[in-house]
Chains A and B, each alone.
Chain A
């Protein structure tokens, strides 16, 4: 089935496709299929074996782990152009995480076998796939560092400093949900951390604007190892 115009457009804008020449993009796009999931659907459950690499083309999904006593650890949020289930690409091991649609989600996917065949034939596709895998490893190492060494407040301070923009007119937008996923915690916890930073005079929050008052102090919080 042909991809929708929307999904095709999103896919062409992914870092994966932007690295490829036109011929390689065509080869890759020919193998893609599309499907959608309603809100709160488990797209992948931990332990399940699904031999496909997915790219989100609309909506938001979250990658998480659930502890035996039911505690959730969000690993990341997946939005337009982001990918998941990369861990099963080169082996048939079961998934090591859950992927849940937070809102209605549309995805494109390529069967692992098709992608592995393309990788054998086409070095550009091989390189783009390896980059995709290394990006995820880099992100996970950074998350491990944050979870191991920083308090939630320190993690939120790190996000604020990372998102600071020298040009207020072009500042990037970020929600509490985004911050929670990046900090590996719940949105409510981020909300409390922001309040605490405001109470201690590091930031001022006013209707969608977070003004960083004490950048040096925020950096000290980031550098503080627990």
Chain B
């Protein structure tokens, strides 16, 4: 399952994304930002929006249906 991308070199574990995530899908475990319920992630992009250092991105790949079904 894909999940939003965290750039740990930029993450300052400020917790802004924890409070913003509508599904409570993020936690800081052992001082490291971790997705704990990635299956529930709706890819809403709010964590990306609130991240003060640009450490989280929710990128999409865009593919045609027939190509996507083959891959």
Contact = CB atoms under 8 A, between A and B. Distances in A.
Interface stretch (A67-75, A131-139, A160-168): A160-168
Interface string B50-71: 0111100111111111011011
Shortest beta-carbon contacts, A-B, top 6: A103-B54, A173-B59, A171-B61, A168-B71, A208-B2, A176-B45
Interface string A87-118: 00000000000000011100000000000000
A172 B60 CA distance: 8
B58 A168 contact: no
A175 B1 CA distance: 17
Interface of A: 39, 59-60, 102-104, 160, 163-169, 171-177, 187, 191, 204-205, 207-213, 215
B14 to A, nearest CB: 11
Contact of A175 (B2, B57, B70, B71): B57
13 contacts: A103-B52, A104-B54, A160-B62, A164-B62, A168-B67, A172-B61, A174-B60, A176-B60, A177-B49, A208-B3, A208-B43, A208-B58, A212-B65
User: Would you call the interface of chain A mostly helix, strand, loop, or mixed?
Assistant: mixed
A210 B52 contact: no
Contact of B53 (A103, A164, A165, A167): A103
B29 interface: no
Contacts of A174: 59-60, 62
B41 interface: yes
Contacts of A102: 54
Given A168-B70, A174-B62, A207 B57 contact: no
B23 to A, nearest CB: 13
A191 B59 CA distance: 13
A118 B52 CA distance: 38
A164 B63 CA distance: 5
Interface residues of B, number: 28
B49 A211 contact: no
B40 to A, nearest CB: 10
A39 B53 contact: yes
A103 B51 contact: yes
A219 B67 CA distance: 18
A71 B43 CA distance: 26
Contacts of B2: 207-209
B45 A211 contact: no
A171 B54 contact: no
Contacts of A207: 1-3, 41, 43
Nearest to B63: A168
A39 B44 CA distance: 22
A187 B45 contact: yes
Contacts of A59: 54
A177 B48 contact: yes
